[in-house]
A and B are shown apart, each in its own frame.
Chain A
Amino acid sequence: MPRLVSHPDEVKIVSKRFGQGAAQIDKYIELGGYQSVRTCLEKGPEWIIETMKASGLRGRGGAGFPTGMKWSFVPKQSAKPKYVLVNGDESEPGTCKDHLIFLHDPHTIIEGTIIAGLAIGAKMGFIYLRGEYRYLLEIMEKAVADAYAKGFLGKSIFGSGQEFEIITQTGAGAYEVGEESALMESLEGKRGVPRIKPPFPAVVGLYGGPTVINNAETIATVPHIIAMGGEAFAAAGSPRNGGTRLFGISGHVERPGVYEMPMGYNLKKLIYEVAGGVRNGRKLKAVVPGGSSTPVLLPDEIDIGLDFDQVGKAGSMMGSAGVVVIDDQTCMVEFALRTIKFYQHESCGWCIPCREGTDWLKKSLTRFHAGFGEAKDIDNIQYLAENMLGRTFCPLGDAAAMPTIAFVKKFRKEFEDHLNGKPCPFANHAQIAVL
């Protein structure tokens, strides 16, 4: 069972029901649940979208697109049915926040999905969980059944005469499916290869109908915004970055865990105070700030506020807010190799620069880490990664290239230390078997 953590600096909005048994529908109702959706049924779609815009909520999957604006792009009139699609395919290494939402507060996902449906005029929502999250899917399925039994879902939700259905769906192992158009392909029973855009999902999405796709955390935040008001939520965060976010901290810290911090919270403080600093009294070497696809930061680059804009300004990305902390005993060549091994495994093979690029990077880094590298390989690795950037349908190519470029640029000396047949200078390296 995932351990829950707590720190006085946390501002618990999305996580406030964690550990309180809110997966039971009666407990959820007792804790104020399903009030927001009633408010929304009264106030109507325009009010919902205005509230969401005022909240400053930006997509928690990683791209940071303003949620209210995304919802407003869906055409009011549509010949085809409209859909809400909740992305619970959480697969970015370093990220485990949605895991806790599904475990502790599944009804907030249901409530948020209904609200999104009311906002865009959809009558059906899908909640897609990655295949590995079977026990969470079962929790989610029970929550949906309980909501149907109470009349919160179905032909006339809350006796309003409005219809809303929710269907849960499982994936079967594929990082790529976390990309929104690949997610729709997978939900349609196909290989999860991305679609070309435009058209955007808001116009032509699932089954060809206008579709809003939101990350599970984004959807889970919605009922709280309705309850507290858009402005109050915005005020909890930093400028242009409304509210709070679930930060999953992992790696070499004393107290890893998922902490809910206000947007703009200082990264250095998050590592040293909230997560207790680097474990075993070691020194910090590097931080991956937002999941494995985000460029690595050096210790002197982490005195920044954690929001989409400030992390961007520091040359990286806030991504999925999975903060991976790396100590000074870690070989960065090996870390780069393990990162690219993942992307090579997950590349769907549709776009050549990604399919071939990740494979060549993995081969080069494997050879390099084994001590068979040549000086020119260092530049070649960077050159190869740079030529993948922006040349693929979906962001997976960039997700593989961006961190690789940063590893080479920021840790060039460690690459050079592996040259001329020298063994990896770090004693306790992991012996990555490349199969």
Chain B
Amino acid sequence: MSSETMTVFSPQLAARFDALVQKYPLKRSALIPMLLYAQDEVGYLSDAVIAEVADRIGITELELRNVATYYSMLRFKPVGKYHIQVCTNISCMLRDGYAVYERFQDELGVGPTGTTPDGLFSLQEVECIGACSWAPAIQVNYEFHDELKPDLVPGILDSYRKKDASAKGEKNA
């Protein structure tokens, strides 16, 4: 499929995918990056995303789903605009990662795993994110925040609320 035909992706991403399938000695090596980049744009691996990526790689949707379900970052349901991933693995746990996690739950009122009604934030407990010496750490989408304390949680949430408001302001201007 070329970017000129029907696509669920933006023209930029479609063009990127056209290049990506040429990049490797074997086309299928592009599969996992494509799924992740598709998810970044669409929000999750919708049926339409799965159908198009499978077609671009030249595998069946079943084969694609078989691969995609293996990877913990790939998801089949939408999450919030800012997806908060709190590490509670050993190094973070020892430095109060669970208290940080609980504070996020309290501030957002979404329970251990959930999305705020406005769709702005979602919360998830995750395994080690490779920031152990700067624990406790979280990722909001791909952004790291480290050396956290529960009291820093409201400020982090506010910074993303502001980011969202200014993004909306630019859009309307």
Residues of A participating in the B interface, judged by any CB pair closer than 8 Å = 1-3, 81, 90-96, 98-99, 124, 130-135, 167, 169-175, 186-192, 207, 248-252, 256-258, 288, 292, 322, 324-327, 330, 335, 338-339, 342, 345-346, 348, 430-433, 435
Contact = CB atoms under 8 A, between A and B. Distances in A.
A251 B134 contact: no
Interface string B62-102: 00001100111110000000000000111101110110001
Contact of B35 (A172, A325, A431): A172
A2 B94 contact: no
B95 A431 contact: no
Interface of B: 23-26, 28-33, 35-36, 57, 66-67, 70-74, 88-91, 93-95, 97-98, 102, 112-113, 125, 127-135, 139, 142-144, 146-147
A324 B95 CA distance: 11
A1 B146 CA distance: 7
B132 A172 contact: no
B94 A330 contact: yes
A189 B57 contact: yes
B67 A248 contact: no
B interface secondary structure, majority: mixed
Top 5 nearest A-B pairs (CB, nearest first) are A173-B73, A189-B28, A189-B31, A173-B72, A172-B71
A338 B25 CA distance: 40
Given A91-B130, A288-B90, 13 more contacts: A2-B144, A94-B91, A95-B132, A96-B131, A132-B73, A132-B130, A169-B33, A187-B29, A250-B94, A251-B95, A251-B135, A292-B90, A335-B93
Which residue, of B23, B89, B94, B146, has the highest number of chain A Cβ atoms within 10 A? Answer: B94
A324 B92 CA distance: 10
A207 B25 CA distance: 8
Given A96-B130, A132-B139, A430 B93 contact: yes
A262 to B, nearest CB: 19
Contact of B89 (A174, A190, A338): A338
A338 B139 contact: no
A326 B91 CA distance: 9
Contact of B32 (A186, A288, A322, A435): A186
Nearest to A326: B94
28 contacts: A2-B134, A81-B25, A93-B127, A94-B128, A94-B132, A95-B128, A95-B130, A131-B73, A132-B73, A133-B130, A167-B24, A169-B33, A173-B73, A190-B67, A192-B70, A248-B133, A250-B132, A251-B94, A251-B95, A322-B91, A342-B90, A342-B128, A345-B127, A430-B88, A430-B98, A431-B102, A433-B125, A435-B112
Contacts of A432: 88, 93, 98
A174 B135 contact: no
Contacts of B128: 91-95, 175, 292, 342
Contact of B130 (A130, A251, A324, A342): A130
Contacts of A186: 32
B137 to A, nearest CB: 9
A311 B132 CA distance: 21
A96 B70 contact: no
Contacts of A250: 91, 94-95, 132-133, 135
A3 B144 CA distance: 12
Contacts of B133: 2, 96, 248-250, 256-258
Contacts of A325: 94
A132 B132 contact: no
Nearest to A186: B32
B26 A207 contact: yes
Given A93-B89, A189-B29, A256 B135 contact: yes
Contacts of B26: 188-189, 207
B95 A170 contact: no
B147 to A, nearest CB: 7
Contacts of B89: 93, 292, 338, 342
Q: Which of B32, B72, B129, B144 has the most CB of A within 10 A?
A: B32
